[in-house]
Structure 1
Amino acid sequence: MRVVKVAIAGLGGVGRATAELLLSRRGRYREVYATDVRLAAACGSRSGRADPDGLEASDLDALEDGRTGPDFIAASGADILIEAGPSDFRTGGPGLVYIHASLSAGLDTIVVSKGALVHSGSALRQLAKSTGATLKLSGAAASALPTIDLLEHSLKGCRVVRVEGILNATTNYLLDAMTTRGIDFHEALRQAQAGGFAEANPSNDVDGWDTAAKLVLIANFGLGADLTMEDVQVEGIGSVTMDRVQAWRADGVVPKLVGELSWPDGLLRATVGIRTYPTKDPLSQVGGKDKAIRILTEEMGETIAIASGKEPMATAAAALKDLESLLAMRAAGPSSD
């Protein structure tokens, strides 16, 4: 039976959920892919653990100080890296050093934190191409919502006319709370923070930057563009007042924070801002913490996907969807004989 060793860099909520879900699916990997998948290493910012025979879930509660960093991952003998650390699109760190080292070594790499891909996506794509590594990013590009998957597989070969995405769960919850329950922005935010799904500093979400980052990934990795964050026109929801909400309700429309890609005059345009939809439009029905994407193509018309997975499990499952894709590729290769 083939042995594949996986390392996870980043042991926050998503990283731990990914590790635990991976360990629970080892039987599936043996049965479906004839592969013994071992968690060879896992680390956070200050500590980690490695075992060539594979870690167990209990090992994640007994990490060893100082065992972290790209050199630690390389020494583990891992074949695949799952990078799930904090995301910072302004610097690319801390994930960028892990991803760069992994791709440089020719390791297939699954990225969950989008910061490095937004900051240095073009360079990382070229690096992966030069070393023959595969770079996957379902967890970074809206997690449970299939975005790049739709473009790479379901709509392959079609000419994309427009992409609209409700890509941030926090802002969708806030706007939904304001329009359906009549509470103001600050109260909706307080409730979201108390519920644990809005950050203590929610600026990246409410100012539209998280949506912009995901839009850049969809454009660059799904459509072969070369956008930067500076190319995206960004508006958030912090200025939404109850007067505006009441006006929208009077007009029979529903507001959503939407990332949009379009090609007016043949040039790619990327925007993030509030769009309003009539109640019969499917995007108006995307409530709470759900996400959605609508892709219009010349050949297949309109395709809509809506996702409502709970975090952090939804993102962990998205990362392991990428892992199964890599396992399938290996099982179909020459080494499967």
Structure 2
Amino acid sequence: MAHPVHLLRLTRYDDPALDARVADLLGATACPVTRGDRVLVKPNLVAPRNTALSCSHPAVVRAVCRFALSREARVTVADSPAFGTGRIMARLTGLTASLSDLPVAVANLDEPKPLRLAHGGTIGVSRLALEADCILNVARLKCHDQMGMTLAVKNFFGCVCGFRKSLAHQRLGKDRARFAAMILDVLAALPPTTSLLDGIVAMHKAGPAFGEPFPLGLVGAADNPVALDTAIYTLLGLTPEAVPLWRESERLGLGGTRPEDITYPRERLEAFDATGFVTPPQLSPLAFEPRRFVTGRLKSLLLSLRGSR
């Protein structure tokens, strides 16, 4: 079965054609958003550090919102970051200001609902995500110190509420395959999704917060996030052994894991130069040291308290 991945070249966030080109990409994926749908636009708002590079760019999120509004959907922009809340991070990244003239709500992905995992146990996934009619997933193309890369599929981990993500790192951290399977369980439980990947300026060498900029000039979209990620892995010359999510998706036989099954109706991979893109040479442990875990939770609580004032 062929899995289309739509790619285009775009080198500037202030390009006047950004909105139109994002709308063209999303429309090409047969995105199911229709009038009256409750649409969750899910950016990557990872942490209040290096936000210009570590988080979804406000201009790209705005373009996705405008696409959904053009189809007369009811739009909510929300995430559950590692630190603070979605509302706080939206303000710190400039996203709230960017969306201020649009009829969209900015919210937190909270109200956890237990999701049973295939390997046992449960995890709390936001009711807002589970009950949306459609999710427009706005990911940033980045390296990830613990998982190799964070692209479209990894961005859905943000639908897990708050500190439950840190607990998942602690509980599943000794088994990278099981951690990857948990993320795929979350994806499988969600309503229909369409993913847009921002690689206009990507992050390489490290991540998900403290890497360096890499001007790749790429924006991609697909209704199958696994296929979209596989296209990028192929562009970067990676293998499933280097990326736990790719390896686990392949083991489960998910569609879109085989590069030969992906088609490119617009730009092909050869249109993009990834020469010099550096991925982490060795993956860091998934489980945090106890001191780092406690410190991180205290920082998150402090940020939340400051943001509520």
TM bin (shorter chain): 0.3 to 0.5
Q: Would you tell me which structure has more helix in proportion to its own residues?
A: 1
Q: Whose relative contact order is higher, 1 or 2, with alpha carbons under 8 Å and at least 6 apart?
A: 2
TM-score normalised according to structure 2 size: 0.33
Specify the structure having the higher radius of gyration (Cα).
1
